[in-house]
Structure 1
């Protein structure tokens, strides 16, 4: 048995990737690790946003997004079996680090429809070029059959 790492940031693309990775883990018997990353904002921007609470906790928000994503896509019972990892750092590099020794890395693609749907986001591009294991980029649906 191996380990499948999936990037989860709450976006539609990452929710599609999470669902795909969970089905793949079920088929292969691999464990599933959901990875959510966050980074400190550029100096001072948070203090300039009107209504931004002074006790803003980006790690707590990242954990909340991850938990809600897991329960929404997998349901509470299946979500309980997923290893949760929340780390500070660049998303692409953090996913690459967590993919060391993994059997598969799964990420969502960004895009909407037509040409834009065929394009990868910067994280997808980076991990497909540098991952230490196979990578699956889940495009999701475009609304067109």
Structure 2
């Protein structure tokens, strides 16, 4: 019988959705990965809006999934490039685009990870103090520690 050594997963999962908050979360995750020797997995979720199929009483014959995926890939790669900048201490970053509700996609991606990092969204003075629904769901149900990076309000 061969003993298998458990290799720790120093993977940091980051939710990226083309928002300023997710860009800040990715920047934070990259800095944390540099300090801890971790890797970053940038994850984007996509799905066809459920109401799309029922708009105006008709059902579309086909939805351009390939177009949605191409757009998601483009924005994910642009966000990763923007977050990395011209950093001399590059961190290994993998990207994944997965179909499904964002919270569930992130929870699935976070299984076995060292850490999950998400951005928060605010809409006004009071709502800015609350977590967004995806962040809130992930904080409550993630199987790994989860960090929520608040939206930057100043320079």
Task: Settle same-fold status: TM greater than 0.5.
Answer: yes
The alignment yields a C-alpha RMSD, in angstroms, of 2.5
Distance 1:6 1:87 in 2: 13
Alpha-carbon distance in structure 2 between the residues aligned to 1:55 and 1:134: 33
Using the TM superposition, give the Cα deviation of residue 104 of structure 1 relative to its aligned residue in structure 2, in angstroms.
0.3
Residue of structure 1 equivalent to 2:48 = 40
Deviations 1:78-101 (A, max 9, x none): 778311111111100000000000
Deviation at 1:116, TM superposition (A): 2.1
Task: Provide runs of 4+ in structure 1 moved above 3 Å.
Answer: 76-80
Q: Do the aligned partners of residues 133 and 113 (structure 1) sit closer, same or farther apart at CA in structure 2, a change above 3 Å counting?
A: same
Distance 1:118 1:20 in 2: 19
Q: Deviations over 1:35-66 (max 9, x none)?
A: 00100233155xx9xxxxx7871111110110
Q: TM-score, normalised by structure 1?
A: 0.85
Distance change in 2, residues 1:137/1:80 (3 Å): closer
Distance verdict in 2 for CA 1:99–1:64, change over 3 Å: same
Greater Rg over alpha carbons, structure: 2
Deviation at 1:113, TM superposition (A): 5.2
Unmatched segments (≥5 aa) in structure 1 = 49-53
Q: How many residues align?
A: 138
Give 5+ residue unaligned stretches, structure 2.
1-8, 59-63
